[in-house]
């Protein structure tokens, strides 16, 4: 919902991802992570593909980072840890991470959108990701 912003589109994508997972279940490697993460990555990738398609680009305009709350997420322990970790980041790092993750923008696209050098975007992304890793792992960056 956060990426495609339309419930119907999100439901269609979810259906497609579950069908794809069913067909490609043998490709899942439990040593690389949890099923939930594997599915979430597939869903995010499909949602970003849809968002970048010409049809969506023509109709969406610049919606920014409006977040559509999903109360079902709030029951996940991972959700709380990631939200807390994002809150710990500075605004600059959080902004570039959100643009990269939720909007699927490249470093050069982020640089253009928020008017900063590409090198600065890359530095903020790297530092923000490192702080998130530390926080989620228990080190509180």
**Whether residue 20 is found in the same domain as residue 55:** yes
pLDDT, the chain, mean: 77
- Of the three residues 48, 63, 78, the one that is the final residue of a domain is 63
- Of the three residues 27, 46, 63, the one that is the final residue of a domain is 63
Q: Which domain holds residue 129?
A: 64-141
pLDDT tens digits, one per residue of 85-120: 788 888 899 899 888 887 778 888 889 999 999 889
**Whether residue 117 is found in the same domain as residue 89:** yes
| pLDDT score recorded for residue 137 | 76
**Whether residue 122 is found in the same domain as residue 107:** yes
User: Total structural domains in the chain?
Assistant: 2
| pLDDT score recorded for residue 140 | 54
| pLDDT score recorded for residue 10 | 83
Q: Confirm whether pTM is higher than 0.75.
A: no
Q: Mean pLDDT over residues 127-136, rounded?
A: 85
More confident residue, 45 or 52: 45
**Whether residue 2 is found in the same domain as residue 30:** yes
pLDDT tens digits, one per residue of 73-89: 555 666 677 777 788 88
| pLDDT score recorded for residue 67 | 47
> Which residues neighbour 76 within 8 Å (Cβ) at sequence distance 6 or greater?
none
* Maximum average pLDDT range among 25-29, 84-88, 126-130: 126-130
- SS3 of 2, please? coil
- Domain containing 75 — which CATH number? 1.10.10.10
- Of the three residues 63, 80, 96, the one that is the final residue of a domain is 63
Half-sphere exposure of 98 toward its Cβ, with a 13 Å CA cutoff?
19
User: In this model, does residue 58 exceed pLDDT 60?
Assistant: no
**Whether residue 58 is found in the same domain as residue 120:** no
Asked if 122 contacts 105 with a C-beta cutoff of 8 angstroms, the reply is no
**Whether residue 136 is found in the same domain as residue 81:** yes
Question: What is the DSSP track for 10-45?
Answer: HHHHHHHHHHHHHHTGGG--TTS--HHHHHHHHHHH
**Whether residue 85 is found in the same domain as residue 31:** no
């Amino acid at each position: 919902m956060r990426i495609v912003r339309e419930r119907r589109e999100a439901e269609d994508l979810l259906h497609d991802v579950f069908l794809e997972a069913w067909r490609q279940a043998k490709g899942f490697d439990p040593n690389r992570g949890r099923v939930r993460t594997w599915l979430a990555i597939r869903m995010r990738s499909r949602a970003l593909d849809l968002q970048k398609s010409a049809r969506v680009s023509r109709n969406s305009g610049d919606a920014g980072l409006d977040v559509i709350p999903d109360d079902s997420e709030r029951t996940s322990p991972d959700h709380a840890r990631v939200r807390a970790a994002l809150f710990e980041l500075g605004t600059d790092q959080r902004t570039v991470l959100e643009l990269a993750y939720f909007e699927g923008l490249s470093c050069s696209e982020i640089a253009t959108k928020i008017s900063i050098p590409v090198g600065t975007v890359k530095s903020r992304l790297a530092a923000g990701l490192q702080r998130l890793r530390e926080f989620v792992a228990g080190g509180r960056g």
